[in-house]
């Protein structure tokens, strides 16, 4: 009897450790040293849509505070801009996403676009047929710098605004350097995220702040990746995640 109690106690301890391990690790990054060649003074990445002439008809967003709330028959450009605004609004991060110009030879007044710099700072988003995936992000690497990221998504994802935001937010997260976290539900980057999550959550924002930390006077806002795991992929020319 005593041996059985001790055995059960050991099993309980092991299960407790496993549960804690998989619920407290937090955000994960693909590689601590592999980044886009941007900095706080020059923080821009460019989102380029393969087809800008797409309308997303349905919308199941039920949060009145969301900029896309109750909007239907929306241009894919407007939906993508809401994803960009969400990423750019992360406090403590210097990262800035911008929409790639529709016509690089006829830029809008005040445009920050620089064709030379943008050449190696593009996140390209295209529709494609995928097997067992809603979206896939593939990053091209030159040395230790990401020089391009391509996202492919399936046709089904452009039928609903909320679905499109959820899938593209996740895949852009990969392009920015976020991996799938061990934490099970409280992250849009998680395979097991809560159904209510379709934009970046606290855990995701901490990861982006860790990768692109802004300098804030008299305040330490830099995230320290002390509990997340880092996966090394150096040596490959392409990283593909979904």
Instruction: Say yes or no to pLDDT of 113 above 90.
Output: yes
pLDDT tens-digit profile of 152-164? 999 888 899 999 9
DSSP 148-206: EEEEEE-GGGGSBHHHHHHHHHHHHHHHHTB---SS-SS-TTSTT--TT--S--HHHHH
Considering the chain, what is the average pLDDT of its residues?
82
Task: Give the list of residues 6+ apart from residue 195 with CB closer than 8 angstroms, or none.
Answer: none
Q: For residues 220 and 234, give the distance between their C-alpha atoms in angstroms, rounded to a whole number.
A: 30
Confidence of residue 31 (pLDDT cuts 50, 70, 90): low
Kindly tell me if the per-residue pLDDT of 96 is higher than 80. Answer: yes
Largest CA distance in the chain: 82
Which of the two residues, 215 and 46, has the higher pLDDT score?
Answer: 46
- Per-residue pLDDT for 20 more than 50? no
Place of tokens 């880092």: 230
Burial zone of 190 (CB within 10 Å; 0-12 exposed, 13-18 middle, 19+ buried)? buried
pLDDT digits (tens, 9 = 90+) for 212-239: 999 876 555 554 443 443 333 333 344 4
Other C-beta atoms closer than 10 Å to the C-beta of 32 total: 14
**Residue corresponding to tokens 């407290």:** 24
Round to whole Å and give the CA distance between 185 and 205: 15
**From the candidate CATH numbers 1.10.3470, 2.40.128, 1.20.1070, 3.40.390, the one assigned to the domain spanning 2-241:** 3.40.390
pLDDT given at position 56:
95
- Average of per-residue pLDDT across 63-88: 95
**Coil, strand or helix at 124:** strand
Give per-residue pLDDT as tens, 195-216: 889 999 998 999 999 999 998 7
């Amino acid at each position: 009897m005593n041996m059985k109690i001790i055995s059960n106690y050991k099993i309980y301890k092991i299960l407790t450790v496993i549960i804690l391990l998989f619920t407290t690790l937090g955000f994960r990054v693909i590689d601590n040293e592999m980044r886009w060649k941007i900095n706080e003074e020059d923080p821009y990445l460019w989102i380029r849509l393969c087809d800008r002439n797409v309308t997303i008809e349905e919308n199941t967003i039920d949060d009145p505070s969301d900029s896309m709330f109750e909007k239907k028959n929306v241009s894919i450009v407007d939906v993508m801009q809401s994803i960009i605004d969400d990423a750019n609004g992360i406090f403590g991060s210097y990262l800035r996403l911008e929409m790639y110009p529709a016509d690089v030879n006829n830029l809008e007044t005040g445009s920050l676009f620089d064709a030379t710099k943008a050449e190696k700072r593009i996140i390209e988003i295209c529709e494609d047929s995928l097997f067992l995936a809603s979206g896939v992000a593939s990053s091209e690497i030159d040395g230790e710098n990401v020089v391009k990221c391509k996202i492919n998504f399936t046709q089904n994802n452009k039928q609903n605004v909320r679905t499109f935001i959820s899938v593209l937010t996740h895949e852009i997260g990969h392009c920015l350097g976020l991996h799938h976290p061990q934490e099970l539900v409280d992250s849009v980057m998680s395979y097991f995220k809560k159904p209510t999550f379709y934009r970046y959550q606290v855990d995701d924002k901490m990861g982006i702040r860790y990768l692109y930390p802004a300098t804030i006077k008299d305040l330490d806002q830099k995230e320290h990746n002390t509990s997340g795991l880092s996966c090394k992929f150096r040596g490959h020319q392409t990283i593909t995640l979904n």
